Amino acid sequence: MVIPIRYHVRNVTVRWRSTLATLMGIALVVAVFVLLRALAAGIEKSSAQTGDPRNVLVVRKGSQAESSSLVTREQLQALQYLDGIARNSDGQPLISADVITLLLAPRASGDGEANLLLRGVTPRGRELRPQVHLTNGRWLEPGKREVVVSENLARRFKGLEIGGTLKAGIGRLLVVGTFSAGGSAYDSEVWMDADEARLLFEREMYSSLILRPVDEVAYRSLTNSIESDKRFALRAEREVEYYAKQTLTAVPIKILASLLGSAMSVGAVFAAMNTMYAAIGSRTREIGTLRVLGFSRLSILLGFLLEGGLLAFLGGLMGTSVSYGLYQYVILRGITFGTMNFQSFSETTFQFAMPPILLLVGLLFSILVGVIGSILPAWRASRIPVISALKSL
């Protein structure tokens, strides 16, 4: 039988003033940990939300990203007559060649410039991505140097408001509309006409192809004929699978979360340890009394581990509450974050994502901090000789 839990619970709450600093320290660590993980989760979510399960993306064999892929006009010509490609209401095959390039643009915040991902698309390309919808202005006209930009980028860069212009090589591109793409990777892109883009940037080739097979059987035969044809040297995979792999961008933030999280948690462990040493020091006679009454060393040890865990859990509860509050605020205000995409080297925007599991991990993390910090103090408490404990003041 162990010491009643209420004994430890009340001890934590009774001396809340002396434990507040420790609680806040642990809360801070947990909040930082959870928020950094929420950023990483946001980037991954944005990748995961991109793509239509019916679409197939075709890139050059060996290229990891669309931006480093090349597809020739001959390849487009050959592919668009393959059997099994779905057709739109006008009877045209649903296949589109995109041109991907990077543009340097000044940040709205004023601190320097960053790369924007510019996607040249055809009208078919827009049909294949119904999640992209116009929110303001009008859609671009083929054959003109016009662009539509994602709302996220419009907020983050200078000159991307409707009517603004964007410097592109020797020319300028007119912003005619803004779009939103449901939290997907397209929310970090600028779109223009594909052939106009090839002219402007003097590109012979396209970057990637997107197409839609009529059904699952057609999907298999199409990918098979594209990939097995030695002349093509192309790779075909579902658009959703391609984007699901584009999570490299989240890696630096994940590393930061781990480094910062572990460095700070060492500090939090010591804070918990200090608090528990103080708590045990001031309760030596109580511990002696419990021992005299017949409570074993083990129950003293477990009791104080529990108390340390409980203390840190309260801190963790504070920390996760703060980070959840911040998350709700950010979502409500529609605030987005930007970082460098490490596959396309362009600015990518995203929102926090805070799945419940992340909050749970934060809480478990805090309990762990408390229990680890309490091991030495609890061990000492359980080893105090009864007689000297009783004589202590």
Q: Would you tell me which residues interact with another protein (CB under 8 A)?
A: 1, 3-4, 6-7, 10-11, 14, 285-286, 288-297, 386-387, 390
| Whole-number Å distance between alpha carbons of 310 and 371 | 9
Neighbouring-strand partners of residue 134: 179
16 close to 336: Cβ distance less than 8 angstroms: no
CA 366, chain centre distance (Å): 22
CB nearer to another protein: pick between 266 and 302: 302
Closest residue by Cα to residue 144 from 204, 76, 199, 98? 199
The one-character DSSP state at 71 is: B
CB nearer to another protein: pick between 1 and 332: 1
CB nearer to another protein: pick between 7 and 345: 7
356-383 and 251-282 helices, crossing angle to 10° = 30
CB nearer to another protein: pick between 368 and 390: 390
Dihedral (Cα; 47, 199, 94, 131), 10-degree rounding: 40
Planar angle of CA 27, 29, 32, nearest 5 degrees: 105
Distance of closest approach, residue 327 Cβ to another protein, in angstroms: 36
Coil vs helix vs strand at 111:
coil
CB nearer to another protein: pick between 11 and 246: 11
251-282 and 284-292 helices, crossing angle to 10° = 70
Distance of closest approach, residue 392 Cβ to another protein, in angstroms: 11
What sign does the CA torsion over 128, 129, 134, 139 have?
A: negative
Distance of closest approach, residue 186 Cβ to another protein, in angstroms: 59
* Residue 200, H or E segment: helix 194-200
Distance of closest approach, residue 301 Cβ to another protein, in angstroms: 13
Phi, psi dihedrals of residue 164, rounded to the nearest 5°: -80, 170
Distance of closest approach, residue 280 Cβ to another protein, in angstroms: 14
CB nearer to another protein: pick between 264 and 300: 300
Distance of closest approach, residue 283 Cβ to another protein, in angstroms: 9
CB nearer to another protein: pick between 255 and 386: 386
Distance of closest approach, residue 374 Cβ to another protein, in angstroms: 18
